[in-house]
């Protein structure tokens, strides 16, 4: 059975990618199961989807814990433990990452033994998160890695999946997917089908007796206040608002009042954006009377940060590690 | 739309459609209104009933209805009406029901359901412009369970859950205005003691399309504490004192159908009822009575 | 027609469409909403005749569904979790009306704490309502069960509403190959609704759902509903056989997977039972004679079929994806009640609570449940019911509690630590 997990952020076409792969595998004669997994649906929040494909009936279901292929559409997710991108990977797993950085860098940084490949960018973009048709691109590359999906099958699956969006959108997505499919030619069939967990010599689950706890802790109550600040929603951001203090009129209220996330504080008439939490909605850019706030692609801004450290910590994890 | 037929008292029917033998209390002002309403609506109706006193109109194996009836639950009679209306429309459209077999759908609820847990379903039925008639028999409390206060209970009335020296502390909810704010086809107040006014309004409602909403004040000997023989007199006094304004909302306008120019003092109405006895004995509480009178006066000052 | 990939929700919508339903009262709730969105799109485009109305609550939705069914049209509705419970009063009520219709429930754990993923406490809360219940393990079964459900509901021997249950996420949002039968073939299996005397019409006045006074008449009407439900076992068998003939899919009231020579069987319902199938296959690879017994039909409870399936086995492993608080697993207690004193009833029945709120059950956990059950059979000592919950999961909740600043010691001033040291064993058992 092929077990594929695709990680990305809400809005990147992750569900579409899994459905394209699923449909293409199904048309190639496999029994298929595919499913997106999201909590409260939020644009920018981490999501993933799963595809299983086998020649026989698929009885497994739910999250894939032993993936043969992991596709990461957004490399910032690799730094977010809660996203679970690396769950269950081993030497058998192929990890395909959409990143500007080379595979060696990621293998070293993540200290993993899995085969890590970089998604080829067929369009030059400043930020890999802005790659057009990212879902279709991931699907195209993944299709080649599986080695069992033909070009025609891939194109047909995209046409079927995106039919409602019109022929132009279909054609654009097909072009992106095909470019990725072709670019991965050297890796044709790099992903092989994994095997099920054997029932002899299995690892005994570390079950415990759940202890009785007093209702004061055993009820779903939070006694902390405003600890949501520990959730670094700044990682959702693809565009970064930057204040030009030469243009800022020190009005003291406009940007901070309209910022939905309370992520702009004004101290002594100086507004400061909290990049740990700014989601990049760009409301402040639109409302600033003297147009003193500019939107800059996050990727470029991070490159600037490396040259010259700026507010916010680009390597912060989404939920503070405790 | 048919011509209005009931113009004078002598146009009122003398034989009645609603069957006798119901377990409603002797002297029930709600039943008095209902049987007059039924005479106008006729048997080509399906009554969709919510929990309340009139749950017991049909107790197996007896029913007073010559037409049809469906008992639902306290909160959702208008949703039941939606299901029946939609199903009848589907059957008509499919040719499985002949037009002459069609029924008018009528919701029947007490004030407890109408003002409380049924209000959401009622509001939504009006939002959908459900083609139905809604009749609330308003005896100003949860009568079927022994007259606990509802949000239709009037100020100062003693109920089994507001038994203190001052009675019910709140003021009767203005359900008429709440309903009218939805902009339905028709809203009207009626009372069984004014049969001509009632018949004209029901006739008008019957011939309109959309949501048609009726509140019938239902003098209640059991819950209000008076002799059953006084039901009609108390009903008339409710109108004469101006406590129960007879009015209708149609085409965006509220029109009063009976303006009591020489209003009787509210005391005339209150004194007849045990639920207000504490306002007069052992010693009088003129402040509360004056407050009630002032509110009635203030209402009519704005009307006239 | 070749199979196509459909989510469980889409399969449910296709079931309604192929059943040619007339009326769909609706209300949105995750993870069910997709069903009414799909139906709404078909009704809007005219691909499907019929009418949909969005009510303001599930309580009203079920009222409208029952009222329309009582007027004589074919009704479909769907809900989930909190919605099913919000409608609970009306579930009992409309079943008492003897109004036949089909309600799909997309299972989701109940609040509090509120959550999104599946377990079966929602649908099992309705088990005494008078709705018959069909439980699905995969997306194909969702479609098939909706069609079977109409045959059950509308059968003159039954005339009760039917709940078809599918698991949120694990089926609702999961695509699997689903064969869509031809509409013509479905009409042969499920002809247009013949309401017979179920109607409201001017020429046939009727008072429905009338009050009774006194326990005698009440007992009569309620028990008659029970007898009608009990007819469901035989009717289901007949209808499923017909379905199999027409569509080539066997939908037994109780699925028996590799049970004939099995010494021990897993017993569970819902989509996680395919995980049990997988475990059975792997255990058989390892030489273990195990099988799976899965009631599709849970109401009426097919006690005879279940007994036949488990008779003579050494043990049963019951996995409850539900929890009757203060008692334990619902399937476990119902199974024990149905087996008590029956010849051939297995001597050992072990109880595991797993999959609450969509918590996964791993292959290793299935294997280990078998190991524990074999030990119980060997020793003659049956372990108490166990929650499938690992030390790692407890560590994780402790981390979350630290973030929530639930101070364990401080919360019980003067009473010492609030966790009883006798029960606070956080170490692996065995």
Report in angstroms the alpha-carbon separations of C204 from A56, B47, B154, B263, C200: 56, 14, 42, 48, 7
Contact criterion met (CB < 8 Å) for A205 and C394 = no
What pLDDT score does C423 carry? 43
Q: Are C130 and C229 in contact (CB under 8 A)?
A: yes
CATH of A2-187 among 3.30.1370.160, 3.55.40.20, 3.40.920.10, 3.40.50.620:
3.40.920.10
Compute the distance between CA of residue B248 and CA of residue B260 in angstroms, rounded to an integer. Answer: 15
Is any Cβ of chain C less than 8 angstroms from the Cβ of A226? no
What pLDDT score does C421 carry? 42
C window 309-348, beta carbon within 8 A of A: none
Calculate what percentage of chain A has a pLDDT beyond 70: 91
CB contacts < 8 A, A to C, total 163
CB contacts < 8 A, B to C, total 156
Mutate which: B64, B86, B132, vs C, most C CBs within 10 A:
B86
Q: What is the mean pLDDT of residues A140-146?
A: 97
Q: Are C289 and C262 in contact (CB under 8 A)?
A: yes
The DSSP secondary-structure symbol of B109 reads E
Q: What is the mean pLDDT of residues C406-411?
A: 60
Question: Following DSSP, what letter does each residue of C86-109 receive, concatenated?
Answer: HTHHHHHHHHHTT---EEEEEE-P
Instruction: Indicate whether A314 pLDDT > 50.
Output: no
How confident is the model over C17-70, as pLDDT tens digits? 999 999 999 999 999 999 999 999 999 999 999 999 999 999 999 999 999 999
Which residues of chain C lie closer than 8 angstroms to A60, CB-CB? 274-275, 278
| Measured distance between the N- and C-terminal CA atoms of chain A, rounded to whole angstroms | 37
Instruction: Indicate whether B182 pLDDT > 80.
Output: yes
Instruction: Indicate whether C301 pLDDT > 90.
Output: yes
Give the domains, in start order, of chain C with CATH numbers. Answer: 4-247 (3.40.50.970), 254-387 (3.40.50.920), 399-430 (no CATH)
A window 56-95, beta carbon within 8 A of C: 58-63, 65
What pLDDT score does C409 carry? 53
State chain C's mean pLDDT as an integer: 94
Contact criterion met (CB < 8 Å) for A59 and C112 = no
How confident is the model over B272-303, as pLDDT tens digits? 999 999 999 989 999 999 999 999 999 999 99
Higher pLDDT, B21 or A41: B21
CATH of A232-307 among 2.40.50.100, 3.30.70.920, 3.40.630.30, 3.30.70.20:
3.30.70.20
The model's pTM: 0.94
Mutate which: C33, C264, C278, vs A, most A CBs within 10 A:
C278
Burial of C331 by CB count in 10 Å (0-12 exposed, 13-18 middle, 19+ buried)? buried
Higher pLDDT, A131 or C213: C213
> C1 falls in which pLDDT band (50, 70, 90)?
confident
Contact criterion met (CB < 8 Å) for B71 and C201 = no
Q: Report the residue from C59, C66, C71 with minimal CB separation from B88.
A: C71
What pLDDT score does C429 carry? 43
Instruction: Indicate whether C324 pLDDT > 60.
Output: yes
Q: What is the mean pLDDT of residues C228-247?
A: 98
Contact criterion met (CB < 8 Å) for C56 and B70 = no
What pLDDT score does A321 carry? 38
Residues of chain A with CATH 3.40.920.10: 2-187
> A187 falls in which pLDDT band (50, 70, 90)?
very high
How confident is the model over B202-260, as pLDDT tens digits? 999 999 999 999 999 999 999 999 999 999 999 999 999 999 999 999 999 999 999 99
Compute the distance between CA of residue C369 and CA of residue A166 in angstroms, rounded to an integer. Answer: 52
Instruction: Record the tokens describing residue A282, joined without a space.
Output: 């760009």
What pLDDT score does C422 carry? 43
How confident is the model over B104-158, as pLDDT tens digits? 999 999 999 999 999 999 999 999 999 999 999 999 999 999 999 999 999 999 9
How confident is the model over C156-193, as pLDDT tens digits? 999 999 999 999 999 999 999 999 999 999 999 999 99
- Phi then psi for C367, rounded to 5 degrees? -60, -40
Give the domains, in start order, of chain B with CATH numbers. Answer: 9-303 (3.40.50.970)
How confident is the model over A256-280, as pLDDT tens digits? 999 999 999 998 889 999 999 999 9
Residue B223 zone, left/alpha/beta (φ > 0; ψ -120 to 50; rest): alpha
Q: What is the mean pLDDT of residues A12-25?
A: 95
How confident is the model over B65-115, as pLDDT tens digits? 999 999 999 999 999 999 999 999 999 999 999 999 999 999 999 999 999
Contact criterion met (CB < 8 Å) for A26 and C428 = no
What pLDDT score does C325 carry? 97
């Amino acid at each position: 059975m092929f077990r594929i997990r695709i990680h990305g952020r809400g809005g990147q076409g992750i569900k579409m990618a899994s459905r394209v792969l699923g449909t293409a595998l199904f048309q190639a004669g496999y029994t298929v199961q595919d499913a997106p997994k999201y909590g409260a649906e939020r644009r920018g929040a981490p999501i993933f989807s799963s595809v299983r494909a086998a020649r026989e009936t698929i009885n497994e279901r739910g999250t894939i814990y032993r993936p043969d292929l992991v596709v990461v559409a957004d490399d910032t997710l690799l730094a977010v433990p809660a996203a679970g991108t690396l769950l269950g990977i081993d030497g058998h797993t192929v990890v395909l990452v959409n990143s500007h950085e080379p595979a060696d860098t990621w293998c070293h940084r993540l200290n993993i033994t899995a085969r890590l490949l970089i998604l080829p960018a067929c369009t030059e973009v400043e930020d890999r998160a802005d790659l057009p048709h990212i879902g279709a691109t991931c699907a195209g590359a993944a299709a080649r890695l599986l080695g069992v999906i033909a070009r025609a099958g891939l194109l047909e699956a995209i046409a079927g999946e995106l039919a409602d969006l019109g022929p132009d959108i279909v054609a654009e997505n097909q072009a992106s997917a095909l470019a990725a499919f072709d670019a991965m030619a050297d890796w044709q069939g790099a992903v092989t089908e994994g095997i099920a967990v054997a029932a002899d010599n299995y690892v005994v689950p570390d079950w415990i007796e759940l202890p009785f706890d007093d209702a004061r802790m055993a009820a779903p109550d939070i006694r902390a206040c405003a600890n949501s600040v520990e959730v670094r929603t700044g990682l959702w951001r693809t565009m970064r608002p930057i204040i030009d203090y030469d243009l800022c009129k020190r009005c003291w209220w406009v940007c901070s009042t309209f910022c939905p996330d309370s992520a702009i504080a004004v101290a002594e008439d100086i507004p400061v954006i909290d990049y740990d939490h700014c989601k990049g909605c760009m409301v402040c850019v639109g409302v600033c009377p003297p147009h003193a706030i500019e939107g800059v692609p996050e990727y470029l801004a991070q490159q600037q940060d490396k040259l010259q450290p700026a507010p916010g910590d680009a390597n912060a994890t989404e939920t503070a590690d405790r | 739309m048919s011509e209005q037929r009931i113009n004078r008292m002598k146009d009122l029917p003398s034989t009645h459609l609603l069957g006798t033998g119901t377990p409603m209390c002797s002297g029930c002002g709600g039943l008095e209104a209902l049987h007059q309403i039924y005479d106008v609506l006729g048997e080509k109706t399906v009554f969709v009933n919510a929990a309340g006193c009139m749950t017991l109109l049909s107790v197996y194996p007896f029913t007073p209805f010559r037409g049809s009836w469906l008992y639902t639950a306290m909160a959702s009679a208008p949703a039941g009406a939606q299901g029946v209306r939609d199903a009848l429309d589907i059957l008509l459209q499919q040719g499985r029901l002949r037009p002459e077999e069609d029924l008018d759908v009528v919701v029947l609820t007490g004030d407890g359901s109408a003002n409380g847990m049924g209000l959401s379903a009622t509001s939504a039925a009006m939002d959908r412009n459900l083609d139905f008639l809604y009749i609330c028999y308003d005896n100003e409390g949860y009568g079927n369970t022994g007259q606990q206060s509802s949000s239709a209970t009037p100020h100062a009335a003693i109920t089994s859950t507001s038994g203190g020296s001052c009675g019910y502390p709140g003021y009767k909810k203005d359900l008429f205005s709440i309903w009218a704010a939805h902009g339905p086809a028709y809203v009207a107040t009626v009372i069984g003691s004014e049969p001509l006014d009632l018949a004209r309004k029901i006739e008008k409602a019957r011939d309109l399309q959309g949501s048609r909403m009726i509140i019938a004040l239902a003098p209640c000997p059991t819950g209000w504490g008076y002799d059953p023989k006084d039901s009609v007199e108390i009903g008339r006094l409710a109108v004469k004192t101006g406590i129960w304004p007879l009015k209708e909302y149609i085409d965006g306008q509220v029109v009063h159908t009976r303006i009591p120019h020489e209003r009787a003092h509210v005391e005339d109405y209150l004194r007849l009822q045990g639920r207000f006895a504490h306002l007069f004995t052992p010693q009088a509480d003129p402040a509360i009575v004056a407050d009630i009178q002032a509110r009635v006066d203030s209402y009519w000052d704005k009307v006239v | 027609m070749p199979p196509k990939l459909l989510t469980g929700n889409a399969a449910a919508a296709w079931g309604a469409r192929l059943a040619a339903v007339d009326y769909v009262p609706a209300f949105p709730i995750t993870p069910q909403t997709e069903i009414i969105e799909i139906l709404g799109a078909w009704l809007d485009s005219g691909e499907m005749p019929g009418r949909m109305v969005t009510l303001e609550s599930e309580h009203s939705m079920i009222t409208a569904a029952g009222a329309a069914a009582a007027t004589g049209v074919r009704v479909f509705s769907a809900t989930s979790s909190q919605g099913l419970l919000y409608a609970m009063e009306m579930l009992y009520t409309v079943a008492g009306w003897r109004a036949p219709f089909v309600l799909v429930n997309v299972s989701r754990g109940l609040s509090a704490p509120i959550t999104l993923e599946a377990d079966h406490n929602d649908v099992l809360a309705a088990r005494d309502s008078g709705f018959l219940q069909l439980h699905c393990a995969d997306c194909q079964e969702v479609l098939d069960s909706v069609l079977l459900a109409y045959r059950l509901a509308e059968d003159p021997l039954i005339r009760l509403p039917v709940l078809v249950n599918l698991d949120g996420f694990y089926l609702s949002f999961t695509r699997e190959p689903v064969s869509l039968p031809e509409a013509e073939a479905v009409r042969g299996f499920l002809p247009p609704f013949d309401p017979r005397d179920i109607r409201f019409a001017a020429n046939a006045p009727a008072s429905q759902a009338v009050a009774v006074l006194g326990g005698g008449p009440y007992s009569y009407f309620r028990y008659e509903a029970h007898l009608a439900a009990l007819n469901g076992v035989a009717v289901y068998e007949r209808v499923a056989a017909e379905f199999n003939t027409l569509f080539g899919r066997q939908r037994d009231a109780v699925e028996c997977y590799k049970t004939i020579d099995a010494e021990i069987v897993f017993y569970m319902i819902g989509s996680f039972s395919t995980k049990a199938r997988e475990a059975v296959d792997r255990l058989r690879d390892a030489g273990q004679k195990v099988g799976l017994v899965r009631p599709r039909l849970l109401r009426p409870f097919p006690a005879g079929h279940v007994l036949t399936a488990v008779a003579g086995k050494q043990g049963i492993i019951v996995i409850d994806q539900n929890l009757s608080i203060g008692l334990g697993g619902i399937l476990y207690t119902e199974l024990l009640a149905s087996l008590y004193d029956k010849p051939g009833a297995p001597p050992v029945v072990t109880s595991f609570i797993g999959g609450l709120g969509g918590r996964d059950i791993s292959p290793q956990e299935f294997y280990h449940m078998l190991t524990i059950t074999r030990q119980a059979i060997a020793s003659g000592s049956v372990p108490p019911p166990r929650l499938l919950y690992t030390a790692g999961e407890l560590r994780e909740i402790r981390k979350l509690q630290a973030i929530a600043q639930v101070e364990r010691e401080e919360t019980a001033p003067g009473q010492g630590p609030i966790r009883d040291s006798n029960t606070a064993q956080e170490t692996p058992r065995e």
